[in-house]
Amino acid sequence: MKNWRAPVIMLMAIGIANIGAWIYLIAMNLLVLEMTGGSALAVYALLDIERAKLDYPTEVNR
């Protein structure tokens, strides 16, 4: 009966970490938007950089 606890806790931790990553990304986009005076191009560039990090993982990101 105790065999299900570890995987459930792990999945919950991963889910909470992913929610935190999305909150961080949204906050960063809002900060860039505010700092650039509403430049959509700067926000797009930030999103493009984040996407590039996911598409091409380095040794650190693996």
Better pLDDT: 1 or 10: 10
The answer to whether residues 46 and 34 touch, using CB atoms and an 8 Å cutoff, is: no
Q: What is the pLDDT of residues 24-44, one digit of tens each?
A: 888 988 998 899 898 888 888
At 57, is the pLDDT very low, low, confident or very high (cuts 50, 70, 90)? low
Indicate whether 58 pLDDT > 90. Answer: no
Going from the C-alpha of 25 to that of each of 3, 5, 9, 20, 49, the distances in angstroms are 35, 30, 24, 9, 11
Indicate whether 56 pLDDT > 80. Answer: no
Angle, helix 5-35 to helix 40-55, in steps of 10 degrees: 150
CA neighbor of 33 nearest in space, from 19, 47, 21: 47
What pLDDT does 9 receive?
A: 92
Better pLDDT: 44 or 50: 44
Q: Given the structure tokens 């700067």, which residue do they identify? A: 42
